[in-house]
Amino acid sequence: MVAVQETVERVRRIDVDQYRYGFETLIESDKAPKGLSEDTVRFISAKKNEPAWMLEWRLEAYRRWLTMTEPTWARVDYPKIDYQDIYYYAAPKPKKTLSSIDEIDPEILKTYEKLGIPLREVAILEGVEPPPGGEQTPNRKIAVDAVFDSVSVATTFQKELKAAGVIFMPISEAIREHPELVQKYLGTVVPTSDNYFATLNSAVFSDGSFVYVPPGVRCPMELSTYFRINERNTGQFERTLIIADKGSYVSYLEGCTAPQRDENQLHAAVVELVTLDDAEIKYSTVQNWYPGNSEGKGGIYNFVTKRGDCRGRNSKISWTQVETGSAITWKYPSCILRGDNSSGEFYSIAISNGFQQVDSGTKMIHLGKNTSSRIISKGIAAGKSQNTYRGLVSAHRKATGARNYTACDSLLIGDKCGAHTVPYVEAKNSSATFEHEATTSKISEDVLFYCVQRGLSEQQATGLVVNGFAKDVLQKLPMEFAVEAQKLISISLEGSVG
């Protein structure tokens, strides 16, 4: 019942103060001067030893950003952000040049150990237990890229990946080592002009992960990036680019945490995915940024642009997200279904509690023929939080045979929270078939009493209901991540008996 207990701590408890990852690592860091200007952009680019084309790309984005205004259409409410009051670059001060993981600052290693992220090359994530009565879990490997504030501090299993031809490295390195790939794909899914936060990211992004899977290769292990914001007053602007070449497959996982602080911190990431013919990317996120305290003070502003481009025929992109953290989440992982017969999926669990605000959903843009998409969204609102699903499904004039199925379910816990569903559907092609279902439910007194009468605590009862509600999406997570997600919202018993 341990997981159930933890569920409760996440879900029911208004007292979000007990954020488990709220510690701070005391470490010397190397920061850019506070504020944003062309000089900041040049500083970051110089820190990364970037080629001239990259600097130009950034500067162009910066100049465009100056002409843009912050969007206000989302159902979220926050005081104006002072973009000159943020550090755009912070890196742990290296004691010397690193040649192996043993030379990483032990404080950082300790941080990741505390977070349960193995930077040493262990074969299996800690905490993964074989299901009781089930078969022994096969030892599956996960390669981890760890991003600490603005820089990547370690990437594991490099050699093994290299043998398979897979490139998995910090994007700052990829810019130097694989400029032809980066130049060919960077900004082609989320252009520098895309939106206010994406444009800001294009100007100041400091690190993130780069993945290239060559034609016909099935990536031999799960790839994972673990993002950690540590510095005070620092924004994190990571950039992830994943390319699955023809006939390849990769599963990528992303996790995020941050220390507990009184001020709000900005996280404006951009993720671009590209799948060529017959390729597939499965992208999973467990987002657990600091959500702010019980009075709604502090927490991360999670303003993220994630988009995948199914560029090739029969290609597939699948997004799965478990969103539990952040003061504000503004995030719409989307799929452009360009290739004929391509398909996109979006599976989401978004939990809001305390004063958290979530405005999240997806866009499925059907451009190619016979494209299909599937959206399963589970919103869980507790405390005084607001939880909005916002989604767009559109079929282009030429997208004959486009199909979409959308199911948006909301669960309310208590009577001071809100759940909202804002679906947009546009079909410019008469052969498109779009289905939309939505439900809203509450954990009723009767359900609670029934469970309590059987000897469960109210917390256990809530956990049971919530996990049952989110089950369809939890099952979509890769096994290794499901463990972490279960710790956040799930019940230990699901699937282990019966």
Partner 1 sequence: MALLEVRDLHVGIEGCEILRGLDLAVNAGEVHAIMGPNGSGKSTLSHVISGKPGYQVSAGQILFNGEDLLAMEASERATRGVFLAFQYPVEIPGATTMNFLRAALNAQRKARAQTEFSTPDFIKRVREVANSLNIPQGMLKRGLNVGFSGGEKKRNEILQMALLEPSLCILDEIDSGLDIDALRIVAGGINALRSSERAMIVISHYRRLLDYIVPDVIHVMSKGQIRKSGGKELALELEACGYAQFEDAA
Which chain residues interact with partner 1 by CB under 8 A? 1, 4, 132-133, 444-447, 449-458, 460, 464-465, 467-472, 491, 493-494, 496-498
Residue 178 CA to chain centroid, in angstroms? Answer: 25
Question: Where are any strands of DSSP class E within 332-471?
Answer: 334-337, 343-352, 357-366, 372-381, 386-395, 403-412, 418-427, 433-442
CB of 443 to partner 1, least distance (A): 10
Closest CA to 485 of 497, 472, 174: 472
CB of 16 to partner 1, least distance (A): 25
The residues, any chain, with a CB within 8 Å of residue 203's CB and separated by 6 or more, are 36, 41, 58, 59, 61, 62, 65
Residue whose CB is less far from partner 1, 146 or 419:
419
CB of 409 to partner 1, least distance (A): 9
CB of 496 to partner 1, least distance (A): 7
Residue whose CB is less far from partner 1, 155 or 377:
377
Residue whose CB is less far from partner 1, 420 or 471:
471
Q: Which residues pair with 275 in a beta bridge?
A: 244, 310
CB of 9 to partner 1, least distance (A): 17
At position 264, the amino acid (one-letter code) is N
Residue whose CB is less far from partner 1, 354 or 463:
463
Residue 259 and residue 486 in contact, taking contact as beta carbons nearer than 8 Å: no
- Residues 80, 85, 90, CA angle at the centre, nearest 5°? 125
Residue whose CB is less far from partner 1, 4 or 364:
4
CB of 454 to partner 1, least distance (A): 4
CB of 321 to partner 1, least distance (A): 18
DSSP structure string for 7-66:
HHHHHT-S-GGG-TT-------EEEPPSS-SHHHHHHHHHHTT--HHHHHHHHHHHHHHH
Give the whole-angstrom CA distance, residue 159 versus residue 164: 9
Residue whose CB is less far from partner 1, 127 or 468:
468
Q: Which residues pair with 145 in a beta bridge?
A: 155, 225
CB of 463 to partner 1, least distance (A): 9
- Residues 196, 201, 207, CA angle at the centre, nearest 5°? 165
CB of 378 to partner 1, least distance (A): 10
CB of 14 to partner 1, least distance (A): 19
- Residues 118, 269, 49, CA angle at the centre, nearest 5°? 80
Residue whose CB is less far from partner 1, 55 or 128:
128
Burial of 101 (0-12, 13-18, 19+ CB in 10 A): middle
CB of 256 to partner 1, least distance (A): 26
Residue whose CB is less far from partner 1, 153 or 412:
412
Query: In the 8-state DSSP scheme, what is residue 234?
Result: B
Residue whose CB is less far from partner 1, 415 or 446:
446
136-141 LR contacts (CB < 8 Å, sep 24+) = 137/479, 140/221, 140/222, 140/479, 140/480, 141/220, 141/221, 141/222
355: tokens are 């004063």
Residue whose CB is less far from partner 1, 345 or 494:
494
Helix (H, G, I), strand (E, B) or coil at 182: helix
Largest separation between any pair of C-alpha atoms in the chain: 69
CB of 347 to partner 1, least distance (A): 14
Residue 336 and residue 366 in contact, taking contact as beta carbons nearer than 8 Å: no
Residue whose CB is less far from partner 1, 3 or 147:
3
Residue whose CB is less far from partner 1, 35 or 495:
495
